[in-house]
Amino acid sequence: MPDLPGLHSGAGRFAPSPSGELHLGNLRTAILAWLFARSTGRRFLLRIEDLDRARAGAEAEQLRDLALIGLDWDEAPIRQSDRVARYREALDRLRGQGRLYECFCTRRDIAEAASAPHQAPGRYPGTCRSLSETERARKRSERPAAWRLRSDVAEFRIHDRQHGEFRGPVDDFVLLRNDGVTAYNLAVVVDDALQGVDQVVRGDDLLAAAPGQAYLASLLGYPVPGYAHVPLALNPAGQRLAKRDGAVTLADVGRDAALGLIFGSLGLPPALPAALAEFDPARLPREAWLVRPAPGHGTNNVGAGR
């Protein structure tokens, strides 16, 4: 375990969406976020990312399971749905900088533009970037607008604890959806900055989003956090783990079995205090964790491979 620097002024966090029960992969990422934070003397925070999808009762289930596996946190969890005014303040700042523009494109419009020759896959082609006021007024009468960031870079570089220097593309991504809901890429940047989060530990499916988020943070005058994108949990078919894969939640597997599986996949002893004493990010697995339901009966039949 690396030397502890003492109490750190920053924080790490875990930020689930309350759309259902946490599965073993979610719990593994939460444990890693806690280990990264505690091993560096940081505060550990929880944030409920409920702007988009929320199932009744899911938040309470998730907080219960996180406590059952031994995690603690240093402040009461916040909910993004309570912070809309903060996001609008950030949008107003960007609008005042001339950094926003209205976009009227449908998903079909974007998909068709992306299939055009010489267009980079997955990048917004800037269709609405230079519309005249007359064109915007006409389109407003047809459908509500989303608001996009007017980016002036093609890519941005971050440092990731697990992946090293990572340079990724940045396009004019959406900050406010056309239904009035704040987009994830804005909310997460504002929340991390206002909560003092300077260490972001999350699944490596979000690595590609980090350069755009870091760029947005720099535009808003926020410090860019350090990142550690960790491998996902996958089912035997190599797909992201989900409830449909069977016995993959804490209720299915049982607390002790779940901790044994998760910590075993990390090469750590199956309890938080002992795991913290041996935790070293340099020794973490770099490949995905394959979670395999074992043959047999009952809910505790889960095997894991790395």
Residues annotated in a binding site for Zn(2+)? 103, 105, 124, 128
β-pairing, 11-14 vs 197-203, is parallel
Distances from the Cα of 190 to the Cαs of 47, 89, 146, 201, 257, in angstroms?
12, 10, 19, 16, 37
- C-alpha span between 251 and 74 (Å, rounded): 25
- C-alpha span between 119 and 110 (Å, rounded): 11
Q: Which residues contact 41 (CB under 8 A, 6 or more apart)?
A: 4, 5, 6, 7, 8
Long-range pairs, 133-139, Cβ under 8 A, ≥24: 136/102, 136/104, 139/102, 139/104
- C-alpha span between 208 and 206 (Å, rounded): 5
Residues of each annotated binding site: 13-17, 49, 103, 105, 124, 128, 184, 202, 243
Decide if 289 contacts 267 (C-beta within 8 A): no
Q: What is the DSSP string of 124-146?
A: ---TTTT--HHHHHHHHTTSPPE
- Alpha helices by DSSP H, listed for 40-104, are 58-68, 84-96
- C-alpha span between 61 and 179 (Å, rounded): 28
- Alpha helices by DSSP H, listed for 159-206, are 184-194
Residues of each annotated binding site for L-glutamate: 13-17, 49, 184, 202
Q: Which residues contact 126 (CB under 8 A, 6 or more apart)?
A: 171, 172
Residues of each annotated binding site for ATP: 243
